[in-house]
Amino acid sequence: KEGAAHIVANELGIKVIEQVSGKLQIKNILPGMRSVETVGKVTQKFDIHEFQKEDRKGKLGSMIIGDETGTIRIVLWQEQADKLASIKEGDIVKLVDGYSKDNQGRKEVHIGDRGNIIINPPDETVGDVKESNAVRKKIKDLRENDADAEIFGTIVQLFDIRFFEVCPECGKRAKMADDSFVCETHNKVSPNYSYVLNVHLDDGSENIRVVCFRNQVETLLNKTQEDILTYREAPEKFEEVKTELLGNQVKFVGRVVNNTMFNRLEFISNQVFPNPSPEEEIERLSEEKSAEEAKAEEPKEEMEIKQEEIVEDVTKS
Ligand SMILES: [Zn+2]
């Protein structure tokens, strides 16, 4: 039936716009899509966050999934978040009827009560996950607005965690007005706490302030939301954690912003790798070294050629 309609449309010279439906590769998911269906391998899982909204309790969970074309953050609302408990890293998940959003320049697929997650569907496979488009950079080579940059270095300083109130509905900052917290969109709310942790990372070329928000803090510290919230009341408990982390080698993927207040570049973390593989780093170092050596040899070769030319010229004359 559809085929016939297509032929008729073609004969009439009408362009049939193919509706985007069915399974999408991750790179083809764009913000603002409805009924998103995709399949990916779980590469990272985060803690469930609970929140209070008026009389109702709510929760959301999140994870990163990837396929051969890229990775994307998946946000699971309410009952969907409970499914995280039965999902392991490495599992294949099929998402049905999600909706995609843009979150500060990054794409996300949200699964609400209309959507569904199928864990390890028997008829789906995912090849090697294209981890990210991140490009490794030396800190001294970072420039404002660099996106998807990867840096690797040693934590040389940790600051105190800063806590702030957010709207439980939309996650935006909730501000104190009179004696209650107010969200611009959702009015009076009983706020959740979110948090930010800044660290200084040094890679030998330079150091930079790395800004980690909620999920990143949890991954970096390997602590739950519950643990981290205890530092709000008892900041002295965080001192121990600081000491533990100081000197650790960590990898971050994120973007570079200019903090205009202090006129300095800062690195906003999108992904933290608290235990990067030492083998990979050693391999990278030796590759860099041989690349540098090859570079150093290049002008020498040129000079040799020139000398040969000179010799030739001399013999000719
Ligand atoms: Zn709100």
CATH code of the domain in which 61 resides: 2.40.50.140
274 lies in the same domain as 142: yes
The pair of three-digit structure tokens given for residue 233, joined into one six-digit string: 């009341």
Mean pLDDT, range 92-118, rounded to an integer: 90
107 lies in the same domain as 184: no
- Beta pairing partners, 183: 187
Measure the CA–CA gap between 109 and 98, rounded to whole angstroms. Answer: 6
| Cα 209 to ligand 1 centroid, rounded to whole Å | 29
101 lies in the same domain as 208: no
β pairing state of 116-119 and 149-158: unpaired
| Cα 168 to ligand 1 centroid, rounded to whole Å | 7
| Cα 112 to ligand 1 centroid, rounded to whole Å | 17
Would you say residue 255 lies in a domain? yes
Q: Are 102 and 73 in contact (CB under 8 A)?
A: no
Lowest mean pLDDT among 49-53, 145-149, 236-240, 245-249: 49-53
| Cα 35 to ligand 1 centroid, rounded to whole Å | 24
Tell me: pLDDT of 259 over 60.
Answer: yes
Would you say residue 267 lies in a domain? yes
Would you say residue 311 lies in a domain? no
Measure the CA–CA gap between 225 and 290, rounded to whole angstroms. Answer: 44
| Cα 195 to ligand 1 centroid, rounded to whole Å | 17
The pair of three-digit structure tokens given for residue 37, joined into one six-digit string: 């269906």
Q: What is the DSSP track for 153-217?
A: EEEEEE-PPEEEEE-TTT-PBPEEETTEEEETTTEEE--EEEEEEEEEEE-SS-EEEEEEEHHHH
Tell me: pLDDT of 21 over 90.
Answer: no
| Cα 10 to ligand 1 centroid, rounded to whole Å | 48
Would you say residue 316 lies in a domain? no
41 lies in the same domain as 95: yes
Tell me: pLDDT of 131 over 70.
Answer: yes
| Cα 218 to ligand 1 centroid, rounded to whole Å | 23
252 lies in the same domain as 169: yes
231 lies in the same domain as 260: yes
What is the pLDDT, as a whole number, of residue 4?
A: 42
For 188-247, write each residue's pLDDT tens digit: 988 888 999 999 999 999 999 999 998 899 999 999 989 999 999 999 999 999 999 999
Share of the chain above pLDDT 70, in %: 85
| Cα 187 to ligand 1 centroid, rounded to whole Å | 7
Lowest mean pLDDT among 92-96, 105-109, 232-236: 105-109
115 lies in the same domain as 139: no
φ, ψ for residue 140 (rounded to 5)?
Answer: -65, -20
Would you say residue 124 lies in a domain? no
81 lies in the same domain as 143: no
The pair of three-digit structure tokens given for residue 280, joined into one six-digit string: 């990979």
260 lies in the same domain as 211: yes
For 277-310, write each residue's pLDDT tens digit: 888 888 888 888 887 777 776 554 444 444 444 4
CB-based burial of residue 275 (10 Å sphere; 0-12 exposed, 13-18 middle, 19+ buried)? exposed
| Cα 6 to ligand 1 centroid, rounded to whole Å | 45
Average pLDDT of the chain to the nearest whole number: 85
Q: Are 153 and 249 in contact (CB under 8 A)?
A: yes
| Cα 130 to ligand 1 centroid, rounded to whole Å | 34
102 lies in the same domain as 145: no
| Cα 88 to ligand 1 centroid, rounded to whole Å | 31
Domain range for 28: 22-119
What is the pLDDT, as a whole number, of residue 41?
A: 96
| Cα 174 to ligand 1 centroid, rounded to whole Å | 7
The pair of three-digit structure tokens given for residue 293, joined into one six-digit string: 């050596």
| Cα 286 to ligand 1 centroid, rounded to whole Å | 50
Mean pLDDT, range 18-30, rounded to an integer: 77
Would you say residue 306 lies in a domain? no
Mean pLDDT, range 153-171, rounded to an integer: 91
